[in-house]
Structure 1
Amino acid sequence: MIFENISIASGNGAVASSLLLIFAIGAAAQWLGWRLKVPAILLLLAGGFLAGPVFQVLHIDEVFGELLFPIVSGAVAIILFEGGLTLRFHELKGKAGAVIFRLVSVGVLVSWLVIAWLAHMVLGFPLLLAALLGALLTVTGPTVIGPMLRTIRPKGKVRSIAKWEGILIDPVGVVLAVLIFEVFLAGQVAEAPMLHMLVGAVKTLVIGVVFTGIAGGLVLLLVKRRMLPDYLQNTVVLALLLLAFGASNYLQEESGLVTATLFGIFLANQSIFEVRHIVEFKENLQILLISFLFVVLAARVEPEAVSLLGWQSAVFLIGVIVLARPMAVMISTAFSNLKWSERSLLMMLAPRGIVAVALTSVFVLKLDQIGVPQAQEFLALTLLVVVGTVVFYGLLAAPVATRLGLSNLDPQGVIFVGAHDWSIKLASALHDANVPVLMLDSNRMNIDRARKAGLLGEVGNVFADEFIHELDFSNMGHALALTANDEVNAFARSALSHSLERADTYHLVATKQDNPQGGKRRRMNPLFAEGATFRYFQNAFINGAKVRMAVIDEGSGMDSIRPAKDAHPIPLFCIEPDGTVQIFSAKTEIKPKPGATIIYLETSALPPAPQKETNPPMKNA
């Protein structure tokens, strides 16, 4: 073996170099996934498989040894905790809640039974092992559904149903899989009575609830008594999570995964303190852990296990796609008011992701220990289903959604944060040019004025996660934060960039910054024009500025804009003949095509030019 007869020092070096390689592959796969617009999960699995069984650069079991199981199990617990943090029960109101509830109850049951039947009949798995595989493959999860929804941007009820199914199905699937696993382990004991199996399942749930109450209660107590400052909340919550996870596992094997999920759900639904910063921290940590897990788990797959995947495995995968999901959707949406097109699209939104792979890895490590012969084939099958469903749904869901009239793959609508008088005028000009517009403001009177102008408006606070989650982004591709408050503008841009590309979100500086620090002005790309601030626009409209339109003539370019005498044009938006919307900024050059429409501000006074930075004269010592 490669690591035989090596010193402790060289062994530590092997661990360090392996970790560096794992994280390098993970980072590269995530970046390439973003750059190539393909699911990073596929590149992570490919990278791990190439580094492991193909080129044999990574020898996971030899490097990590007995630490592999607790590392993987702890990483899975953190991922499940983050998933629980996104589940807020009050947000389900008005979101086709009955259909969502049936999908994560009856739908999960149908998927489990169909997949278990396929595993038993097609693959020849024993009943208990087939039931375990079926439970593991019921979960989809927000980590794979979220990117698909951002790409497809489905209209109507499908978006909220698919989103909340992905969030809710994680804890439901985890609990089901852990309980089936407990039953499977109990079934390995000679002549184990059914009562023993049921006691194990109940014990798992009770331990999860008890340790969730202890950990969650302690967090709330510390916060209420002001004994936990904000900057320590992430650290303390993570420590309590791992303590509760470890204690649960000590009392009952794998019950810690249920505890982690319930702990996240508990914190998400309490009202004592805001968990937004914890969610953001865990989201960043989740990306790191997902990259690590996928590379490690793919690198552990044995070539012999892959060779066992014959035509039966392909038939099993096809059955999961064409039988399990359609049956679950049809039964769950029966007697609902969903259109057939919406039901069809829901059938195309069931890719498996990190939770299925991570839970499988935890269980396979245990199955290996107790000598279950199908353990490695079990992991290879899960990876096959993950890759197969991600490729199938990832490639076909968007075209199907477009064909059904439920998706706009390149939306060009513009969201305006701040519905004051002059932003309504800018939005109205876009609306007149047939560009979808959505106005957001916490002031109902402002939104009422926008609606009277014929614009779509929503009353809400961009600082509230539930308000952002409620918005329909199916026709929106750009966002402008135009309030008088720099902090609100910056936060709005950050919040909306979770649903829109960050490059398509902009915010207006409220007032001129006379003393930019460290040459910050040179690095900024001011919206619309250099020196164009909220105060400038406000004063410009008070002094009679108008929003105008001009069509670009052949060969004239921007000279087609002809303002009135003694007036100056400030280009704001460019609407190309194909409907593409571009937004002008100080340092971005836009070359409109002939026939494009330019929306510009006709004003008597241009924004003030930035002052040149000069070094103050040095004083004599």
Structure 2
Amino acid sequence: MLIFFLGVLSQWIAWRLQLPAIVLMSISGLLVGPIFGIISPAERFGELFSPIISLAVAIILFEGSLNLNFKEVKNFSKPLWRIATWGAFIAWIAGSLAAHYMAGLSLAVSFVIGGLFIVTGPTVILPMLRQAKLKPRPAAILKWEGIVVDPFGALLALFAFQFVLFAMGEESASAFGLFFLASLFSVLLGIVAGWGMGRMFEKGQVPEFLKSPMVFAVVLLVFAVSDTVMPQTGLLAVTSMGIMMANMNITSINEMRHFKENISVLLISSIFVMLTASLSLDILIGIFNPRIIAFVLAMLFIVRPLSIWLSTIGTDLSFQEKLLVGWIAPRGIVALTVSGYFAATLMDAGFEDAELLTALTFALVFSTVVAHGFSIGWLGRKLGLVSSVEPGILIVGSSRFTVKLGKMLHDMNKNVLIVDSAWGRLRLAREEGVPNFNGEILSEHTEYEKDLTPYETMIVASENDSYNSLVTSNFVPKLGRTHLFQTAIHIGNPKDFHASLSGKTLFGPEWNIQALEEKAEEGYAMRKTQLTEQFTYEKFREKSVEGTIPLFIERAQGKIEFFTAENGAEPKTGDTIVSFSPPAHQEIRTQEKLETSRIKSGIQS
């Protein structure tokens, strides 16, 4: 209970304080584990501890690979391929040399552990990317590298171990053949399982309520079968299965992604608490060994940058992208769990210095998680690789009203974009100079063609109520219901649309898109009114022309808050109210201008 609670609590606190969640999870595990001795998961779970961790990692890796659609990297497959192959090889050799000369490990142990340390797994990189909001290209490179290289790190360490035993004369050449056959088997097993599940889903042979549970069970089965044939190959199998399903255009893939993402968040939170809580004080003290510190510094500032810069020579990656990718390489759960396996195996084989592996690995994991978790957002902004410092507003549906709304937001220097599938309906937006995009917001091609990462708020205001509800329900997992707005239902009974299918109702239940369009045709215009101590919100309401519709508030800090039917915003002194006002008589306009000038003159005096 405590593990689950601390994991989710760490995620929530990290979200509230905008801190790296991985860091808080690790700290909470250390506090309840080795520091205060409240729990010791390794002792409590006993023999189940390692299998639980391994199965959880398999689910997390599969969830990450479900997002690996090849369309995402079609424009930069060359640098990604270089990083995942030559970059991994360079990191292996350089990391092995660092472990030998810096940490003082034997060449054999360094050769094995150097292969493992090429991983930058999804358990740490995905939460970081979710928080940093990088531009699509560097974010995709880091995500793909983390997921694809993750299983190969364990396989590379296993290959190095087999090679060491062969060099010592304790293993025959046939062991290499078995190793490669087992690796091939795991890839084929994952591909066949993924293809089979996808075909069953598309043919309607699995009901909707069983799809996610069945995938969950098959992932565990594929992992267990592959790992039984050859240890540490299960991760490769589930990654192959996920990539296969991600590229089959399965209609229910989004529902599976949402289910797996929820499971992964819970598992990542819990596993980091379990692993850090299971460490001993001796291991914590051991990480302050000067040799270990020197090794960590070499991995951070020499091995990783060197592998990225050498492997991406001749690619179209910019200097800023190379610098960011060359710095960000957090290690996570796979490194911790697999290093424990190899520490015991190497010690059984007579390599006594392998007892340092656990402390060495934890030092690298914790250092990279802290250093990269706190720096990824800052460095991304400094290098111009963050999508937008200020969250943007995405408007779905182009009309007279939405163009007027977009124009006002654009003139207020807000990041706004109007999206519509009809080129003709965007004509007015183009004429007014409002940023716009011609495409279907529900199409996956839109996500690849247009960077939607900067837009944290969405307004859905098409003429089709059902379409509006479909769009809002589709984007709930990505944006959250508090950032989704739609115009009021104007056809049929609003009660026919369940609350779970709709966003917040903009402006009020009577202001549907047709009503707003009629007002726009009557000459209604957008107007800004700044509130002062003399001209309060109450006076604004008294002076407003009859029929004025308050739309949103710009807070003194620049944040936008929309008026909704669910809860009215509370304007304060210093805020600016934007309203949709009828064409007032010239005398009223002149009077308001004179009154505003008088108030300002009084303030200045």
TM-score by length of 2: 0.85
Supply the distance in 2 between the matched residues of 1:437 and 1:518 (Cα, whole angstroms): 28
Supply the distance in 2 between the matched residues of 1:241 and 1:223 (Cα, whole angstroms): 15
Supply the distance in 2 between the matched residues of 1:486 and 1:379 (Cα, whole angstroms): 57
Q: Are 1:86 and 2:67 an aligned pair?
A: yes
- Aligned-pair distance for 1:144? 3.4
User: Which residue does the alignment assign to 1:430?
Assistant: 409
User: Which residue does the alignment assign to 2:98?
Assistant: 118
Supply the distance in 1 between the matched residues of 2:516 and 2:336 (Cα, whole angstroms): 53
- Aligned-pair distance for 1:238? 1.9
User: Which residue does the alignment assign to 1:100?
Assistant: 80
Amino acid of the residue matched to residue 271 of structure 1?
A: N
- The 1:100/1:555 distance shift into structure 2, 3 A limit, reads farther
Supply the distance in 2 between the matched residues of 1:498 and 1:367 (Cα, whole angstroms): 45
Supply the distance in 1 between the matched residues of 2:483 and 2:243 (Cα, whole angstroms): 32
User: Which residue does the alignment assign to 1:306?
Assistant: 284
User: Which residue does the alignment assign to 2:4?
Assistant: 23
Check whether the contact 1:104–1:165 (CA below 8 A) recurs between aligned residues.
Answer: no
User: Which residue does the alignment assign to 1:614?
Assistant: none
- The 1:541/1:27 distance shift into structure 2, 3 A limit, reads same
- Aligned-pair distance for 1:184? 0.9
User: Which residue does the alignment assign to 1:201?
Assistant: 179
- Aligned-pair distance for 1:143? 4.5
Q: Are 1:389 and 2:368 an aligned pair?
A: yes
Q: Are 1:67 and 2:48 an aligned pair?
A: yes
Supply the distance in 2 between the matched residues of 1:37 and 1:97 (Cα, whole angstroms): 32
- The 1:342/1:272 distance shift into structure 2, 3 A limit, reads closer
Q: Are 1:38 and 2:19 an aligned pair?
A: yes
Q: Are 1:174 and 2:155 an aligned pair?
A: no
Q: Are 1:138 and 2:118 an aligned pair?
A: yes
Supply the distance in 2 between the matched residues of 1:110 and 1:226 (Cα, whole angstroms): 47
Supply the distance in 1 between the matched residues of 2:6 and 2:541 (Cα, whole angstroms): 54
Supply the distance in 2 between the matched residues of 1:69 and 1:143 (Cα, whole angstroms): 17
- The 1:528/1:224 distance shift into structure 2, 3 A limit, reads closer
User: Which residue does the alignment assign to 1:319?
Assistant: 298
Check whether the contact 1:398–1:409 (CA below 8 A) recurs between aligned residues.
Answer: no
Aligned pairs for 1:174-573 (under 5 A) are: 174-185=151-162, 187-188=164-165, 191-193=169-171, 195-309=173-287, 310-361=289-340, 363=342, 373=352, 377-407=356-386, 410-465=389-444, 467-468=446-447, 470-473=449-452, 475-486=454-465, 488-490=467-469, 492-493=471-472, 496=475, 503-511=482-490, 516=495, 526-553=505-532, 555-558=534-537, 567-573=546-552
- Aligned-pair distance for 1:513? 7.8
- How big is each residue's C-alpha offset from its partner over 1:234-292, in whole Å with a ceiling of 9 and x where there is no partner? 12222222222222222222222211111111111113543111111111111122122
- Aligned-pair distance for 1:170? 1.8
SS of the residue 2:173 aligns to: helix
Amino acid of the residue matched to residue 585 of structure 1?
A: T
User: Which residue does the alignment assign to 1:51?
Assistant: 32
Check whether the contact 2:150–2:334 (CA below 8 A) recurs between aligned residues.
Answer: no
- How big is each residue's C-alpha offset from its partner over 1:489-509, in whole Å with a ceiling of 9 and x where there is no partner? 455446556665754443333
Check whether the contact 2:84–2:148 (CA below 8 A) recurs between aligned residues.
Answer: no
- How big is each residue's C-alpha offset from its partner over 1:1-40, in whole Å with a ceiling of 9 and x where there is no partner? xxxxxxxxxxxxxxxxxxx222222222222222222222
- Aligned-pair distance for 1:469? 5.5
- Aligned-pair distance for 1:414? 1.6
Check whether the contact 1:152–1:408 (CA below 8 A) recurs between aligned residues.
Answer: no
Q: How many residues align?
A: 580
- Aligned-pair distance for 1:377? 3.4
Supply the distance in 2 between the matched residues of 1:141 and 1:226 (Cα, whole angstroms): 34
Q: Are 1:77 and 2:58 an aligned pair?
A: yes
Check whether the contact 1:136–1:174 (CA below 8 A) recurs between aligned residues.
Answer: no
- Aligned-pair distance for 1:56? 2.7
- Aligned-pair distance for 1:448? 4.9
Check whether the contact 2:397–2:419 (CA below 8 A) recurs between aligned residues.
Answer: yes
- The 1:471/1:492 distance shift into structure 2, 3 A limit, reads farther
Amino acid of the residue matched to residue 77 of structure 1?
A: A
Q: Say which of 154, 160, 175 aligns to 2:137.
A: 160
User: Which residue does the alignment assign to 1:3?
Assistant: none
SS of the residue 1:531 aligns to: coil
- The 1:442/1:292 distance shift into structure 2, 3 A limit, reads same
Check whether the contact 2:486–2:504 (CA below 8 A) recurs between aligned residues.
Answer: no
- The 1:250/1:319 distance shift into structure 2, 3 A limit, reads same
- The 1:259/1:142 distance shift into structure 2, 3 A limit, reads closer
Check whether the contact 1:186–1:192 (CA below 8 A) recurs between aligned residues.
Answer: no
- Aligned-pair distance for 1:323? 1.0
Show structure 2 runs of 5+ residues with no match: 585-605
- Aligned-pair distance for 1:411? 0.6
Check whether the contact 1:182–1:197 (CA below 8 A) recurs between aligned residues.
Answer: no
SS of the residue 1:568 aligns to: coil
Check whether the contact 1:509–1:534 (CA below 8 A) recurs between aligned residues.
Answer: yes
Q: Which region of structure 1 is more displaced relative to structure 2, 393-402 or 294-303?
A: 393-402
- Aligned-pair distance for 1:133? 2.8
- What is the aligned-residue identity percentage? 29
- How big is each residue's C-alpha offset from its partner over 1:428-478, in whole Å with a ceiling of 9 and x where there is no partner? 121122222112223333345433432222233333345336543565443
TM-score by length of 1: 0.83
Supply the distance in 2 between the matched residues of 1:135 and 1:452 (Cα, whole angstroms): 57
Supply the distance in 2 between the matched residues of 1:130 and 1:563 (Cα, whole angstroms): 77
Supply the distance in 2 between the matched residues of 1:487 and 1:164 (Cα, whole angstroms): 37
User: Which residue does the alignment assign to 2:601?
Assistant: none
Check whether the contact 1:549–1:600 (CA below 8 A) recurs between aligned residues.
Answer: yes
- The 1:470/1:357 distance shift into structure 2, 3 A limit, reads farther
